[in-house]
Amino acid sequence: MGVEPNIQSTRREALVEHSRLAIKQGSQSFSAAARLFDKETRERAWLLYAWCRRCDDIADNQVMGGELGDQSDLDSRLALIRKLTGKAFEGKPTGDPAFDAFGIVAKEVGLTPQMAEDVIAGFALDAEDWRPRTEADMMRYCYHVAGAVGVMMAVVMGVNPHDSDTLDRANDLGLAFQLSNIARDIVEDDAAGRCYLPMEWLVEQDIEPGQHTKPHHREELAEMAARLVALVEKHEAAARVGAERLPFRSRWAVLSAARIYGAIGRKVRKRGIEAWNSRTYVPRAEKALYGARAFLSAVINREKHPDGPITWGIADFRPQPQ
């Protein structure tokens, strides 16, 4: 009678270790942030990350975020992701440790197929070389590639999967992260043939298609980056509302990450037209300072909220029915 639980425990330990190594190799920043969690939450965050990393690699036909492989036959790769994810939800062996890891964390905390599908949709958008036409399109992209992950992380941190209001605020944190990334990486993304600025913004600035990163458009680019950072700060403030409801160590981790990613956006805005002459980053000592400030904020737990009521939620960032 006691053999099966022991087997399951050993299997879980092996998958946790696999996931720990995956996050250590794939994202030093996320690995460092996870240290702020308690042991149980930290392990579950590793298990979730392993699935996200593996799905991304399958979608882009790459290894641990490395060089892109053949980008043809996207539909088959997405079908494989959905098939393995479905088996993971059913508790069946998938033959892939990252998906087996996901099956464990999904069962333990109550992640739903809809949550997983929202993340998978983001991989599809990136792989299809999708471009946003409007600000709403851009925000839906940010939801799928970051906000939806924030929602799953909130459940990992103990939020009830049916607590839609708190999950909305977790989504806000993911949106703030991705908007900061877009602002920082405009030129880098352009070099890779990608643009996440809404086409409408480029038209408003009277910028020719494919010319937004040229030197003679740096003033306009700085204006659009400042516009992105204004959105970062809006969603960063909304995320603090949800952070107040988290356990202390999770609250500390969330507030630390919010400050660091918010700082990236604000540095881009402050640098103006020089923001893309070199990569904008937050030095280690400054990260430590933000972590210390976040610790105090987590203890006091009275964060500054957005001005006025929050009237948006996850439903606003999902694709609209046709």
Report the CATH number that the domain containing residue 278 is assigned in CATH: 1.10.600.10
- pLDDT, one tens digit per residue, over 22-73 is 888 766 667 677 788 889 999 999 999 999 999 988 987 766 544 555 556 7
Last residue within a domain, chosen from 53, 77, 110: 110
Same domain? For 227 and 308 the reply is yes
Same domain? For 94 and 229 the reply is no
Same domain? For 181 and 48 the reply is no
The closest alpha carbon to 232, from 282, 309, 189, 177, belongs to: 177
Q: Which pLDDT value is given to residue 272? A: 93
Same domain? For 186 and 243 the reply is yes
Q: Bigger pLDDT: 183 or 72?
A: 183
119 occurs within a structural domain: no
Same domain? For 4 and 52 the reply is yes
Q: Is residue 49 within 8 Å of 22, Cβ to Cβ?
A: yes
The DSSP letter of residue 143 is I
Same domain? For 62 and 143 the reply is no
Domain count along the chain: 2
Q: Bigger pLDDT: 248 or 70?
A: 248
Last residue within a domain, chosen from 48, 78, 110: 110
Same domain? For 136 and 276 the reply is yes
Query: End-to-end distance of the chain based on CA atoms, in angstroms?
Result: 53
Q: Distance between CA 269 and CA 94 in Å, rounded?
A: 45
Same domain? For 80 and 147 the reply is no
The label of the residue with tokens 């913004």 reads 201
- pLDDT, one tens digit per residue, over 83-106 is 999 999 999 999 999 999 999 999
Same domain? For 143 and 101 the reply is no
124 occurs within a structural domain: no
Q: Distance between CA 190 and CA 177 in Å, rounded?
A: 19
118 occurs within a structural domain: no
- Helix or strand holding residue 106 (H, E): helix 97-109
The DSSP letter of residue 314 is G
- pLDDT, one tens digit per residue, over 255-291 is 988 888 899 999 999 999 999 999 998 898 998 899 8
Q: Distance between CA 188 and CA 182 in Å, rounded?
A: 10
Same domain? For 40 and 165 the reply is no
Q: Bigger pLDDT: 129 or 188?
A: 188
199 occurs within a structural domain: yes
Same domain? For 83 and 197 the reply is no
Neighbours of 105 (CB within 10 A): 27
CA angle 215, 216, 218 (to 5 degrees): 65
Same domain? For 201 and 257 the reply is yes
Q: What share of the chain is helix, strand, coil (3-state, %, to 5)?
A: 70, 0, 30
pTM here is: 0.89
Range of the domain at 227: 131-322
Q: Distance between CA 104 and CA 89 in Å, rounded?
A: 8
Per-residue pLDDT averaged across 141-158, rounded?
95
Q: Distance between CA 316 and CA 91 in Å, rounded?
A: 32
